Structure 1
Amino acid sequence: MGSKASSDIKTPMIFHQDSSDELPLKTIPGSYGMPFFGPIKDRLDFFWFQGQTKFWTSRMEKYQSTVFHVNVAPGPPGFRTSHVVMLLDQKSFPILFDVSKVEKKDVLLANYMPSLSLFGGTRPCVFLDPSEELHAKVKSFVMNIIKLNASKWIPEMQKAALEVFPKWDLEMNEKAKAEVNTHTSQVACNVLVRTVLGRDPAAPGEATLKTDGPSLFRTWLAPFLAPIASIGLPHILEELTFHSFPIPSFVASGTYKKLTNFFEIYGTELLDMAEREHGIDRHEALHNIIFFMGFNAFGGLQLFLPAMVEYVAGAGQKLHDALVKEVRDAVKEEGGSALTVAALRRMELSRSIVYESLRMSPPVAYQYARAKEDITVESHDARYEIKKGELIGGCQPVATRDPRVFKDAEKFVAERFMGEEGKKLIKYVLWGNGPADGKPSVSNKQCAANDLVPLLSQAFLACLFLHYDSFTIFKPTIKGNSVTIHFSSLRKAC
């Protein structure tokens, strides 16, 4: 159940009561339907009969509520049913981040838990609850990796971007179009591997990834994510296969072995650090590094960078002119052609665009948790009781378009997060298991790269407008949950 810029979820206007200090206590509306058939009906509605947008909006309209019972994918026959209390507004959603009240153990994909064989037999940190001892060790290790490489991230992003621009220019000359997704995926892979391992993934060697890093990551993730996504196959075939039964992990075993060999051979220093400084078994550390790099970091950036490009392209020439001036002036004021953190701090508009893009299309659309105790959740209009053990979920692209918080919530507004008032809205950008202004720690589930991903995305955007004056795109090609974007024009800087 991924999010994408070209299939935006539109939040309907719900009937609202007058606000009061004591909201009424209501029964959670909605139904899970008949055993077996109810979850299948909801799954078919989600993937085929209604689609993601209408699936959520129709239920909010039907129940006149942003809190309700529903079944989420993948569902039966070969999966455990995921009965979920769904939270789709800014007031109720944050309970999903409060680990004093909810448990995050093995709920990344609701009740669907993929085979641990996909992860070398380990449970990566994303599946661990902060109450588990290993969570603190691994989270601390990952945060340390990010911090130790602080001086490398931006130079490596500029290097990777400068490598891809000639390829786009060549494609434009030869084909009159240039694909965004493939090349931004390579940018993401190169930045991450070069920075963290200090090695080019394509460099010759016994375990070289050549230029196949992005495709290897995607092939490995396919069995993991296919049951909750549409890959564009004929409906009946997809329903009878990927959406009905877990994909055996052996289909990706060869791919994962290549990734494992690469990180084991060239990540020796990281594994030493994990064992010596954080007390993590080398096997655990190895597979957590792969998961962090492949799912959390690469997976997020490969989805987000094209979405951001799409939003900026659609905003038009006036925004492009403003970005050209902001980016080039900031770099000049900081001493030259090299992009720096100091230069990025001067770029208020580009930073706002990153947060607005995250608001519209967070890389991971869904969050889940399980109630540790009987709790009461408040929406804007009512209170609801959730029982201990119940599964709770939220769709971030709906909550981040809450019309009670954001004016013109369905519209991409590049300047939304500029100025003092704009900065106050950043806390309502929900992504990465927390608010955008939150601070990752070993005691919460906030993404360790909560500050890094926006910074890298802003750096990529800045690199674009250092090299190009403007660009346009064709209408995106949509196949299942996959959105492919092509430039229709690229106007180089003089």
Structure 2
Amino acid sequence: MVLEKEKEEEKKGLKEIPGGYGWWPWWSAIRDRLDFFWFQGETQFWVSRMEKYKSTIFRCNVPPSPPGFPTNPVVMLLDLKSFPILFDVSKVEKKNVLLANYMPSLKFYGGIRPCIYLDPSEDRHERIKSFVIDLIKLNASKWVPEMEAACAEAFPVWEEDLKKKGRAQVNHETGQIACNVLIKTILGRDPRAEGEYSLKTHGPFLFQAWLAPQLSPIASAGLPHLLEELLIHTFPIPYFFVSIFYKKLEKFFETYGQEVIDMAQIKYGLDRHDALHNILFFMGFNAFGGLNLFFPPMIGYVGGAGQKLHKDLAEEVREAVRIEGKGKLTANALNKMELLKSVVYECLRMYPPVPYQYAVAKEDLIIETHDGRYKVKKGEILGGCQPMATRDPKVFKDPDNFLASRFVGEDGRKLLRHVVWGNGPGDAETSTKNKQCAAANLVPFLSQTLLACMFLRYDSFTTFKPTIRGNQITVHFSSLNKAAFPLI
């Protein structure tokens, strides 16, 4: 009797979720796709619907859409009060919902389901994720030195380009930095080293070529409208077109990653084929994909933030290296760089490299937003747009502007949990029991290390206004002001 009364009380005050998928779902999904990519653009697509429904929760179609894909009806959550339900695996399932109800062919992954598509309730998830987490930790002492080495190679390239051309593209070298650091740290081999299966300097291209068709239905390449719709938004791109690139990566990892594959088999009971393709996925999708997308806009935000911030960062970095690192860049020194950490998390808040999260309701749920309570039925797909949620004005002051010191101090540190970029709160730890990205701590750590290396070499730097083509942000340096006594 008491339980029934509680259920009745719970139902009171529930609001109907606004929005829908159109009177003809097939056509409405196409119309919404065109709004998303062309007529409105991604940001305005969400803003216009929040204004229309006067709500941060509503039903709508998300890309991809027919004829080559199923419709993607989703309950979207665009505020920070409702968003965390997407991380609660006791209430939602995360099986095969990385991209809502669209999933690339398993041929892209050697025929296996990578960890990112597994729910924590599946046995393989715990074994694979334990392996990846330990792989990151076991190599903890290598991350900083490898980043320093990669930066020492990249910086002179930028300086020479700037001297010759008056500008230097950030993206090419940051892609090579990410590739070199990851492979040299995890596999202990330079991807460019001579050998039968050497990647030479093509590692970043191979990773990007493999990633592109997996994500193309939900992304824009900046092609002419009609061409883009026909080529990448209407039908899935077959694995055949990138198989040659993936096979090169596969052969490299299989040849030079034997020690890591042995560890996966012996210690974690993983099949060698399963281990190989999960290592490749983690390195190429989770880690390289995140770093490659994030490094250029991060540098762009910092480059445009002004001399005062640069002076403060240079002083903080060099002081921490002098005192904590005894003249060397170390993890302990990085931990003392509070402003630097704040800058990286502010960049993650402004531009999370993984913009969407999805899940399926395991049961009927009550979801709370800032302005109401709503019922979601079992089996419905829930989605969240992180760049909208992390600009929630009820959580973040002046949310649309880059504030470098936002996360400094006790009150600032409390806000870190709201930077929900990696499939979990910004201050949470990844584990086998949740779906937080295994690289959720690695990406900000390596980003902090990259910026620290830059301020050990440069007093300041400036960038031109970024160019945006589709989902690709390209950044160019306009100046690099070398320190009188650079430490890198």
Compute the TM-score of the two structures, normalised by the length of structure 1: 0.95
Question: 1:318 maps to which residue?
Answer: 308
- Per-residue deviation, 1:482: 1.0
Within 5 Å, give how 1:233-312 maps onto structure 2: 233-312=223-302
> Match for residue 472 of structure 1?
462
- 1:341, 1:221 → 2: CA distance? 31
Q: Which residue of 2 aligns with 1:5?
A: none
* Alpha-carbon distance in 1 for matches of 2:481, 2:279: 39
Cα RMSD, aligned residues only:
1.1
C-alpha contact 2:86 2:92 (8 A) present in aligned 1? yes
User: 1:441-461: per-residue Cα shift (whole Å, max 9, x none)?
Assistant: 111101112222111110101
Instruction: Quote the residue 1:485 is aligned against.
Output: 475
SS for the counterpart of 1:338 is coil
* Cα drift, residue 364 of structure 1: 0.2
* Alignment-mate amino acid for residue 30 of structure 1: G
- Which residue of the other structure, out of 24, 38, 45, is the alignment partner of 2:13? 24
Alignment of 1:364-379 (within 5 A): 364-379=354-369
- Give the whole-Å Cα distance in 2 for the aligned partners of 1:222 and 1:142: 23
SS at match of 1:70: strand
Aligned residues: 474
> Which whole-Å CA distance do the structure 1 matches of 2:347 and 2:470 have between them?
21
Report the 3-state secondary structure (helix = DSSP H, G, I; strand = E; otherwise coil) of the residue aligned with 2:141.
Answer: coil
Q: Which runs of 5+ in 2 are unaligned?
A: 1-9
- Which residue pairs with 2:5 in the alignment? none
Q: Which amino acid aligns with 1:144?
A: D
TM superposition shift of 1:35: 2.1
Report if aligned partners of 2:350, 2:402 keep a CA contact under 8 Å in 1. yes
Read off the aligned partner of 2:114 and give its amino acid letter.
P
Q: Tell me, in whole angstroms, the C-alpha distance in 1 between the residues paired with 2:321 and 2:328.
A: 7
CA distance in 2, matches of 1:107, 1:24: 31
CA distance in 2, matches of 1:189, 1:332: 29
CA displacement 1:416-472 (0-9 Å, x = unmatched):
000111111001110111011111111110111222211111010100111111111
Offset at 1:98?
A: 0.4
1:446 paired with 2:454, answer no
Deviates more, 1:28-37 or 1:43-52: 28-37
Find the partner of 1:399 among 377, 382, 389. 389
Q: Distance in 2 between matches of 1:196 and 1:171?
A: 30
Aligned-pair distance for 1:479?
Answer: 1.2
1:221 is matched with which residue: 203, 211, 222?
211
The residue identity in structure 2 corresponding to 1:160 is: A
Q: How does 1:17-416 map to 2 (within 5 A)?
A: 24-33=13-22, 34-416=24-406
User: SS in structure 2 opposite 1:130?
Assistant: coil
Structure 2 CA distance for aligned equivalents of residues 209 and 374 of structure 1: 49
Q: CA deviation at 1:478?
A: 1.5
Corresponding residue for residue 9 of structure 1: none
Instruction: Using the TM superposition, give the Cα deviation of residue 24 of structure 1 relative to its aligned residue in structure 2, in angstroms.
Output: 3.2
**What residue identity is the alignment partner of 1:429?**
V
In the alignment, is the contact (CA less than 8 A) between 1:30 and 1:69 conserved in 2?
A: yes
Q: Which amino acid aligns with 2:20?
A: S
Which sections of structure 1, spanning at least 5 residues, go unmatched?
A: 1-20
Amino acid aligned to 2:408 = M
Q: d(CA) in 1 for partners of 2:309 and 2:180?
A: 29
Alignment-mate amino acid for residue 231 of structure 1: A
Q: 3-state DSSP class of the match of 1:434? A: coil
User: Contact conserved, 1:23 with 1:382, CA < 8 A, in 2?
Assistant: no
Contact 2:25 2:71 (8 Å CA) reproduced:
no
CA distance in 1, matches of 2:12, 2:200: 59
Q: Supply the distance in 2 between the matched residues of 1:84 and 1:365 (Cα, whole angstroms).
A: 15
Q: Please tell me whether the aligned partners of residues 428 and 435 of structure 1 are also in contact (alpha carbons under 8 angstroms).
A: yes
Greater relative contact order (CA < 8 Å, ≥ 6 in sequence) = 1
Task: Give distance in 2, aligned partners of 1:72 and 1:57.
Answer: 14
Q: Any residues of structure 2 matched to 1:411-426 within 5 Å, and which? A: 411-426=401-416
Deviation at 1:222, TM superposition (A): 1.2
Aligned partner letter, 1:190: N
User: Out of 412, 416, 422, which is 1:432 matched to?
Assistant: 422
Offset of residue 337 of structure 1: 4.1
Mapped to 2, the partners of 1:304 and 1:400 lie a distance apart of 16
What's the secondary structure of 1:56's corresponding residue? helix
Over residues 355-412 of structure 1, what are the superposed CA-to-partner deviations in whole Å (9 max), with x where a residue is unaligned? 1111111110000000011111000110111111000000001101100001111111
- AA matched with 2:172: T
Residue 23 of structure 1 and its aligned partner are, at CA, apart by: 8.6
Give, in angstroms, the shift of residue 159 of structure 1: 1.1
- Amino acid across the alignment from 1:81: T
Which whole-Å deviations, capped at 9, do the CAs of 1:231-266 have from their partners, x for residues lacking one?
A: 011101111221010001100100000000000000
* Percent identity (aligned): 65
Deviation at 1:136, TM superposition (A): 0.4
Distance in 2, matches of 1:222 and 1:414, equals 32
When residues 199 and 447 of structure 1 are mapped into structure 2, their CA distance, relative to the original with a 3 A threshold, is same
Is residue 23–residue 383 contact of structure 1 (8 Å, CA) maintained in 2? no
CA distance in structure 1 between the partners assigned to 2:464 and 2:423 by the alignment: 33
CA distance in 2, matches of 1:63, 1:83: 16
The SS at the match of 1:94 is helix
The 1:382/1:330 distance shift into structure 2, 3 A limit, reads same
Q: CA deviation at 1:338?
A: 2.4
Mapped partners of 1:181, 1:222: distance in 2: 16
Partner of 1:4: none
Specify the code of the residue in structure 2 equivalent to 1:159.
A
- Which residue of structure 2 lines up, in the alignment, with residue 8 of structure 1? none
